[in-house]
Amino acid sequence: AQSVTQLDSQVPVFEEAPVELRCNYSSSVSVYLFWYVQYPNQGLQLLLKYLSGSTLVESINGFEAEFNKSQTSFHLRKPSVHISDTAEYFCAVTEAGGTSYDKVIFGPGTSLSVIP
Amino acid sequence: DTGVSQNPRHKITKRGQNVTFRCDPISEHNRLYWYRQTLGQGPEFLTYFQNEAQLEKSRLLSDRFSAERPKGSFSTLEIQRTEQGDSAMYLCASSSEGSLAGYSGETQYFGPGTRLLVL
């Protein structure tokens, strides 16, 4: 079974500063990794995902995450945050290449607050 | 297509009452999922449908919970004899089937959720 740890429950950061949201996972098999974002009063949206290939994946709004198999991590970074990035961020994992359904395990979330 | 929709968005009920939630997935998606999210936690998997077949149920889904997807389109989640511990956000998501070789990381698209408060 897979599990996800997000050590930082809240991350306050000033506007235009860099940010890193940490995610570590546990699994005995190969995994796919995801970051979802939940803006206030909105549903979860996929931010980016790692399936295979390049370990660095990027989103359209400037976030990137790097899959590190040896450290079992998938940290999310952005070099310069905006007020609009204020949201809850969830790291998630699922078994890679499974023949059954897509059971996604979510972490507890990190609340990112961007301070003007 | 406007995405996954859920109704109602909010529900307040008294303990012991039955409630039913509806989810309308993206029309071409044949996979549908229900999750429960409590305050300060990530979504927890409840159950999964492939077309009209319910293929997996979490141990979180007690006998008071039942989900259906009768025609492989919309789905309903019913909670009987609600308890205060059932208070949570109930999320629905859908995805396409993806590769015939198995799960290929298809993106799950989430609805806005139904917030349930049991008094």
What's the pLDDT score for residue A42?
Answer: 84
A111 touches chain B (CB under 8 A): no
**B43 CB contacts (<8 Å, ≥6 apart)?**
A44, A90, A106, B35, B36, B37, B91
Q: Which among B23, B57, B110 is the top mutation candidate for probing chain A, defined by the most A β-carbons within 10 Å of its own β-carbon?
A: B110
pLDDT in tens, A44-65: 999 999 988 889 999 988 999 9
Cβ separation of A100 and B55 shorter than 8 Å? Answer: yes
What's the pLDDT score for residue A52?
Answer: 86
**What average pLDDT does the segment A63-81 reach?**
96
pLDDT in tens, B16-71: 999 999 999 999 898 999 999 998 889 999 998 988 989 888 888 889 999 999 98
**What average pLDDT does the segment A66-94 reach?**
95
B55 touches chain A (CB under 8 A): yes
Q: Rounded to an integer, what distance in angstroms lies between the CA atom of residue A31 and that of residue B55?
A: 21
More confident residue, A68 or B28: A68
The size of chain B, in residues, is: 119
What's the pLDDT score for residue A84?
Answer: 95
